[in-house]
Every structure is written in C-alpha cells, then in structure tokens.
Structure 1
Amino acid sequence: MASVVESRKACTVNPLKMSQPLGASFAFMGLDACMPVMHGSQGCTSFGLVLLVRHFKEAIPLQTTAMNEVTTILGGYENIEGALMNIHKRNAPKIIAICSTGLTETKGDDVQGYLVAVRKRKPELADTEIVYVSTPDYVGAFEDGYKHAVTGIVNALVKPLPVRQDQVTLLPGSHLSPGDIDELREIVESFGLAAIVLPDISGSLDGHIAPDWRGTTLGGTTVEQIRAAGASAFTIGVGEQTREGAMALQAIAGTPFEVFERLTGLEVNDRLLQRLAQLSGRPVPAKYRRQRSQLLDAMLDGHFYTGGIKVAIGAEPDLLLAVGSLLHEMGAELRVCVSTTQSPAHALLPAEQVVIGDLEDMERAAAAAGCDLLVTHSHGRQMAERLNKPLLRVGFPVFDRIGNAHRRCVGYRGTMNLIFEVANMLIEQIPHHHPGDWPLTPEAQRAVAAAPAAAAAAIAATEHATAAASA
C-alpha cells in the first residue's frame, strides 16, 4: 500500500494534471448528438479544445458561454440562455451538457436555477436534454471532472425499468481509449450479452471519416441507450473513478455492480471473464483461452527486459495503477510515482509512495533515483530529453504521436501490446544491441554506459552464462 504525500511547492512549475472541466467535457464527448459547453470565459474553453484536437487529431465540438468581466460580476444567466438558444438553433443537439469552471464557481452562479428559469422562458428547448455538472478547476483533476460528469448524466437521464438479464452497463474510466472500449465491448458481447457503454467515446472519437457534419458529436451513447441503462442486470466499472456512477445507477435502478480497479494485466482479466461467464451462464470462449496463453508467453519474453528496471511514472490515479501494476508484475520497481489528485486507487499501487505533484517533482525524483524508464503524457518529452531516458507516452494529452484512438491496453491482447511496446523501447537502450543478442540486465546496461572496462566484463559474463545455458 502506497502512502500519499502532497507536494508543498509554492507553485506548479511543469503541470502534470488537466482540469476538472476538461475531464467533464471529455465524458460528454462520448454522448451522441451532444454539444458540450463550458460555463466560463472563452479562454478556458479554447485551451481545452486545443488539447483535445491535438490528442485525437479530430474536429472537436465544444462551446462556451463566453463570460466577460461584466457578466462575471452581474451573473451569467443571460450567457447561459443565449448559449442554449444559439446551440439549439444552429446545431439541434439532443443533449446540451454544461460544466462549470473556476470563474463561475468563484462567482457562485446558480446554474441549476438558471436552467429552471430558461426552461420556463423558452419552451422550444423542451425536446433537448440539458445536463449540468459542477466542476471547479481549482480543485480536483481530469479524472474527477470525468467522474462527476458520468454521475451527472446518470442522475439526469436514467430511470428504473424492468430488468433485462442479457444487458449490462459498462462504465469505462477516462484513461481508456476508444480502442480499449471497442475491446471491452467485444469481450462482453462474446458472452451473448448486450453492452450499454456510458460514455462511449469509441463511437465519436475513434478516428473515422463521418458521412455528415452536424456540429455536434458524431456517435457515442444515445439518449435512448442512456435511459435503457435503467434496465441493465449488472454494471461493470473500469477504474475507481467509475464507482460513483455505478453507485448512482444502483440507487436509481437497483442495479448491482462490480468495479474492476484495472483491466491491464492477467489476474484482473481472469476475474472479468469469470464474472461475464457467471452473468451469461456461458463458458469462456476458446479465443480468450488462447489469448491468455499468448499473454503468458509475452510476459515470459518481456520480463528479461523489464525485470529490475527502475520506473518513474506520472499519471491520473487509475492510469497510474493500471500501468504501474503491470510493470511491477513484470519485475520493474516503481521508484517514483506522481499523480494528480487523491483517489482510493493509490492504496492499491505496489509502491512505497505516491506524490500529488507535477512533472518537475517527477523529474527531480527520477534523476535522484536513477530511473531507467519514464512514463507520462507528451508534456514529459523535455524531461526525457534532459535525463536522456526513454519515455513511454500514456494518458492525456499525447500530441506528438498519431493513432491514440486505436491504442489498446486492456484485455489480454491490450496487455500483451503494452508489454511489447515497453520491452521494445528498452531493447533500443541496450548498447551495441543486435537482433538476437542475449538481453543485458539493467545493472549491466548501466555498467556499459559508465565504464568501457566494466562493460566488457559484464558482456563477457553474459556470454559465458549463455554458453553454459546452451551446454
């Protein structure tokens, strides 16, 4: 169990975390025909929009209530009403999803009261669902905003319905990619179960060329599917951040649930398949038994390169747990763990300590610990250059690589892909490496870099061990 400490610096130097409103907007992107709106200044929305566009390389629908100095002081009712009417007239969305920002939270805008008044004054909005969630950006982080948005969607739109025994609700965490969600949906449906994914960014941000352009999200969970979640026989959450939404579904519709702390790894996927077999009354399909065997072989092959390495990782809590736990299972040592916000997931991490801090904290600690691998998003690339260490890009945003929407790190196949990515990255760091070379241990690698004489001795020792093993 990792202890959690907070960095006590006077300011954040190199930010790791993203804000709550951005996390909430990301969740709203997974709803079909939806227009996410940030209730705040234009700058708040523009910054979030840039990050989303750079990460997904897609057009992102995101609007703002465009608060200025005067409206911030006098109140934002007119801005809320104007934004709702303009969006309704120009884009005709089925859902308008509003999240607050630090500006309007500090002012204390009664947005729920504003929405009641707008509904009375503008009956033409009757056919549009409106969801509001409070997400001040001066507390919490990306994962918190996503969590509150999912809960807000459930509370606003889900009603109890007669139970369908063949239907489950899947609540994916914000750390899952569209490819991850596709993988999980395929696993659930292979047991003969119907899956309602909430929210479903695999429909809207999966990198496809849409046949039309409506100005809203193009794909995702429909209003009808959200309402139908009240009939699900079971809820599966992925990540501790989904527990709040699962509990809301249970309170509304009585739906039992299980939250899987991660689905990157061997044992956790075993548990998922066992749960699905129990829910469906069907045996585990043969293809997953084969995939499990392939993952075991990948772990065997990969541990030669990951065993004994020192890792520094900076990520949102659930992603930190998923990637960190897998690396630990592969023999790596989690020497530096930096996260963005408090979470029960930290207690499950196989490390001594988690620091709630920024990338400067991570860089300093990684340098002091002599870490071999850095794991964080693209804002850590300068750190990797300064420390001359490989960087595994995970999380949000990753803007200097393409294909983020299709990357898969869950299930047996996704876990295997991540192991190969890490191992291949470490193979490239082996001095004078040629295909087929016996892998050097991290200690031998450091000796190679430090002193030629010591390097020669380490290589000779490795070759001797290889010859003895062959004999």
Structure 2
Amino acid sequence: MAVVVESNKACAVNPLKMSQPLGACYAFMGLDACMPVMHGSQGCTSFGLVLMVRHFKEAIPLQTTAMNEVTTILGGYDNVETALLNIHKRAAPKVIAVCSTGLTETKGDDVEGYLAMVRKRKPELDSTEVIYVSTPDYVGGFEDGYSRALGAIVKALVKPLPRVARQVTVLPGSHLSPGDIDELRTTISAFGLDAIVLPDLSGSLDGHIPQDWRGTTLGGTTLDRIRAAGASALTIGVGEQTREGAQALEALAGTPFEIFERLTGLEPNDRLLHRLAQLSGRSVPAKYCRQRSQLLDAMLDGHFYTGGIKVALGAEPDLLLALGSLLHEMGAELSVCVSTTASPSHALLPASEVVLGDLEDIESAASGCDLLITNSHGRQMAERLSKPLMRVGFPVFDRIGNAHRCQVGYRGTMNLIFEVANLMIEQIPRYGPADWALAQSAADLAARDPARGVEIPVAATGYECYEEPTP
C-alpha cells in the first residue's frame, strides 16, 4: 500500500496534471453527435483543443461560451444562451454538454439555473439534450472531470427499463484508448453478450475518415444506446474513476456493478473472463486460452529485461496503477511514482509512496532510475537525465497512432511488455570485432598475470553479444 505525499512546492514547475474541464470534455467526445462546450474564456477551450488535436491528430469539436472581463462580472447567462442557440443552429447536435471552468466557478454562475431558463425561453432547443457538469479546474484533475461527466451522463439520459439478461454496460476509464475499448468490446462479444460502451471513444476518436462531415462528434454512443443502458444485467467499470457512473446506474436502474481496478496484467483479465463466462453461461473461447498462453510466454521472455530495473512513473491514478502493477509483476522496482490527484487507486499500487506533484518531482528523484514513463511533456526531462522515455497517457503529441494503441486484455498486456522490454534492450551496448579483440587481449593478459586483476569486458563472456565477430 503506497503512502500518498503531497508536494509542498509553491507552484507546479513542469505540470503533469490536466484539468477537470478537459477530462469532462474528453468523456463527452464519446457520445454520438455531441458538442462539448466549456463555460469560460476562449483561452481555456483553445488550450484543451490544441492538446486533443495534437494527441489524436484529428479534428476535435469543442466550443466555448467566450466569457470576457465584463460578462464574467455581470454573469454569463447571455453567453450561455447565445452559445446554445448558435451551436443548435449551425451544428444541429443531438447532445450539448456544458462544463464549467475555474473562471465561472469562482464567479459563482448558476449554470443549472441558466439552462432551465434557456429551455423555457427557447423551445427550439427541446429537440436537443443538454447536459451540465460542474468541473472547476482549480481542484481535481483529468480523471476527476471524466468521472463527474460520466455520472452526469447517466443521471441526465439513462432511464430504468426491463432487464435484458445478455446486455452489459461497460464504463471505460479515461486511460483507455479507442483501441483498448475495441479490444474490450470484442472480448465481451465473444461470450455472446451485447456491450453498451459509455462513453465510446472507439467510435468517435478512432482515426477514421467519415463519409459525411458534420461539426459534432463523428460517432460514439448514440442516445438510444445510452437510454438502453438502463436495461443492462451488469455494469463493468474499468478504473476507480468509473465508480461514480456505476453507482449512478445502480441508483437509477438497480443495475449491479463490478469495478475492475485495471485490465492490464494476467490476473485481472483472468478475473474478467471468469466473470463473463459466469454471466453468459459459456466457456471461455479457445482464442483467449491461446492468448493467455502467449502472454505467459511473453512474460517469461520479457522478465530478463524488466527484472530488477528501476522505474520512474508519472501518470493519472488509474493509469499509474495499471502500468505500475504490471511492471511490479515483471520484477521491476517502482522507485519514483508521481500522480496528479488523490484516488483510492493509490492504495493498491505496489510502491512505497505516491507523490501528488509534477514532472519536476520525477526529474529530481529519477537520476538512479533505468526507465522513465510519462506523457510527452517528459521528453526534455528524459534528455536531461539521458534516460529512455516510454510515452503513455495524455497527451502524447510526438508519436502517431495513439488511438490504436492497445494495452488491455491479454494481447494488450503483451504489447506493453514487448514495448518496455525492447526499450531496455536498446540500452544494452552492442559489441563488434574491436570489442572481441579487446576482450581477448584482456583475457590473455589476465592469464599471464592473474594478480593484476584485469577486468574482462562483458563481450568476452559471450552473454550480451548479438553479432558474431568477422574473421
């Protein structure tokens, strides 16, 4: 059980944390024909928009109420009304999702009251669902905003319905990529179960080229499927951040839920497949038995390169737990663990402590580590420390293919093991003919005069050599 320590610095020097409004908007991106809106200044929205565009390399629908100094002081009702009407007219979304920001939360705008008044005054908005979630960005982080948005979606749109025995609602955490969600849906479908994924980023941010352009999200969970979630026999949440949404579903529709703290690793995937087999009444498909065997072999092959290494990790709580637990199982030591916000996930992390801090906290403590794992903002830190960097989480803007990266399930866990092991293999020195000659000379000298204690290079043992010397 990790001890949580808060950094006592006066400011974040190299921030790791992303804001609550951005996390909430990320959740809303998984709803079909949705337009997320940040109730705040244009700068708040522009910053989040840039990060998402760079991460996914896609057009991102995100709007703002464009508050300025005057409207902030006098109140933002007019801006909210204007934004809703303009979005309704130009983009015709089925859902408009409004998130507050630190600016309007500090002012104390009654956004729920604003929305009720707009509904009365502008009946043309009756054809559009409007969701509001309070996400002040001066507290919490990306995961907290995502979690709140998930709860708000359920409370606003889900209704209790007669139970459908073979239907399952899946609540993926924000640390799951569209590729992860696809893998999870495929696994559940293999048991003959119908999975309603909420929100479904694999439909909207999977990097496809749409047949027709529209100004809203281009896919995701439809309104009909969201409402149908009230009939599911079970809710499966991936990550502690999904608990609020699962509890809201239980309160509304009486749906039992089970939270999987992670789906990266052997044991949690065994547990998931066993639960799906129980629910469906079917045995585990042969292909997953095969994948499990492959994962065991990958763990055997990979542990030669991960066993004993010291790792510095910086990530959101659920991602930190997923990666840290697997690395621990692969024999690595979690020397430095930095996260963004408090979470029950930290209690499950196999490390001595978790620091709630920034990337500077990682850099100051990671000089003795062999591997750094964090988002792309850690690249300068990795250069200064001359350490390999594995990019994970959000944002990763200096690599492509983030939408298709898979790190859950047996196959995703294998991918992750291979990625870490290959990074460590790259750090092993390569030896050529000159090194073999040096080793032979040292061996000959040691044989003639053992008292001199000449150190023989590793190449002379033949263990770390991957190329035969040329004659």
CA 415–454 in structure 1, closer or farther in 2 if over 3 Å, else same: farther
CA 454–116 in structure 1, closer or farther in 2 if over 3 Å, else same: farther
| Structure 2 counterpart of 1:146 | 146
| Structure 2 counterpart of 1:239 | 239
CA distance in 2, matches of 1:460, 1:16: 44
The Cα offsets for residues 118-156 of structure 1, whole Å up to 9 and x where unpaired, read as 000000000100000000000000000000000000000
1:343 corresponds to 2:343: yes
**What SS class does the counterpart of residue 203 from structure 1 fall into?**
helix
| Structure 1 counterpart of 2:197 | 197
TM-score of the two chains, using structure 2 as the length reference:
0.93
The Cα offsets for residues 183-235 of structure 1, whole Å up to 9 and x where unpaired, read as 00000000000000000000000000011111000000011111000000000
Query: Residues 298-447 of structure 1 correspond to what in structure 2 (within 5 A)?
Result: 298-367=298-367, 370-432=368-430
The CA deviation at 1:456 is 3.5
| Structure 2 counterpart of 1:297 | 297
| Structure 1 counterpart of 2:439 | none
Report if the CA contact (8 A) 1:61-1:217 is conserved. Answer: yes
**What SS class does the counterpart of residue 35 from structure 2 fall into?**
strand
**What SS class does the counterpart of residue 327 from structure 2 fall into?**
helix
Report if the CA contact (8 A) 1:427-1:433 is conserved. Answer: no
Query: Residues 12-23 of structure 1 correspond to what in structure 2 (within 5 A)?
Result: 12-23=12-23
CA distance in 2, matches of 1:336, 1:218: 39
The CA deviation at 1:279 is 0.5
Aligned AA (1:285): P
Aligned AA (2:388): P
| Structure 1 counterpart of 2:102 | 102
TM-score of the two chains, using structure 1 as the length reference:
0.93
CA distance in 1, matches of 2:455, 2:116: 73
Report if the CA contact (8 A) 1:384-1:390 is conserved. Answer: yes
| Structure 2 counterpart of 1:84 | 84
CA 232–455 in structure 1, closer or farther in 2 if over 3 Å, else same: farther
**What SS class does the counterpart of residue 258 from structure 1 fall into?**
strand
Aligned AA (2:182): D
| Structure 1 counterpart of 2:177 | 177
1:224 corresponds to 2:219: no
| Structure 1 counterpart of 2:72 | 72
Report if the CA contact (8 A) 2:3-2:354 is conserved. Answer: yes
CA distance in 2, matches of 1:327, 1:166: 35
Aligned AA (1:212): D
CA distance in 2, matches of 1:281, 1:96: 40
Structure 2 residue runs without a partner (length 5+): 433-452, 465-471
The Cα offsets for residues 245-291 of structure 1, whole Å up to 9 and x where unpaired, read as 10000000000010000000000000000000001000000000000
Q: Rg bigger for which structure?
A: 2
Structure 1 residue runs without a partner (length 5+): 435-452, 465-471
Report if the CA contact (8 A) 2:431-2:459 is conserved. Answer: no
CA 252–433 in structure 1, closer or farther in 2 if over 3 Å, else same: farther
The CA deviation at 1:432 is 1.3
The Cα offsets for residues 357-376 of structure 1, whole Å up to 9 and x where unpaired, read as 00000000101xx0000000
Report if the CA contact (8 A) 2:314-2:338 is conserved. Answer: yes
Report if the CA contact (8 A) 2:324-2:349 is conserved. Answer: yes
Aligned AA (2:97): A
The CA deviation at 1:463 is 4.0
| Structure 2 counterpart of 1:59 | 59
CA distance in 1, matches of 2:227, 2:396: 33
The Cα offsets for residues 34-65 of structure 1, whole Å up to 9 and x where unpaired, read as 00000000000000000000000000000000
Q: Percent identity?
A: 81
The Cα offsets for residues 103-126 of structure 1, whole Å up to 9 and x where unpaired, read as 000000000000100000000000
**What SS class does the counterpart of residue 312 from structure 1 fall into?**
strand
The CA deviation at 1:397 is 0.1
**What SS class does the counterpart of residue 218 from structure 1 fall into?**
coil
CA distance in 2, matches of 1:4, 1:462: 45
The CA deviation at 1:168 is 0.2
| Structure 2 counterpart of 1:8 | 8
CA distance in 2, matches of 1:350, 1:457: 36
**What SS class does the counterpart of residue 81 from structure 1 fall into?**
helix
**What SS class does the counterpart of residue 414 from structure 1 fall into?**
helix
CA distance in 2, matches of 1:198, 1:118: 27
The Cα offsets for residues 63-105 of structure 1, whole Å up to 9 and x where unpaired, read as 0000000000000000000000000000100000000000000
CA distance in 1, matches of 2:261, 2:254: 22
Report if the CA contact (8 A) 1:188-1:276 is conserved. Answer: yes
Query: Residues 268-287 of structure 1 correspond to what in structure 2 (within 5 A)?
Result: 268-287=268-287
CA distance in 2, matches of 1:98, 1:23: 12
1:208 corresponds to 2:208: yes
Aligned AA (1:225): R
The CA deviation at 1:180 is 0.2
Q: How many residues align?
A: 446
Report if the CA contact (8 A) 2:314-2:373 is conserved. Answer: yes
**What SS class does the counterpart of residue 407 from structure 2 fall into?**
coil
CA distance in 2, matches of 1:133, 1:302: 44
CA distance in 1, matches of 2:314, 2:175: 13
Report if the CA contact (8 A) 2:167-2:193 is conserved. Answer: yes
Aligned AA (1:121): R
The CA deviation at 1:461 is 5.5
CA distance in 1, matches of 2:265, 2:86: 47
**What SS class does the counterpart of residue 202 from structure 1 fall into?**
helix
**What SS class does the counterpart of residue 135 from structure 1 fall into?**
coil
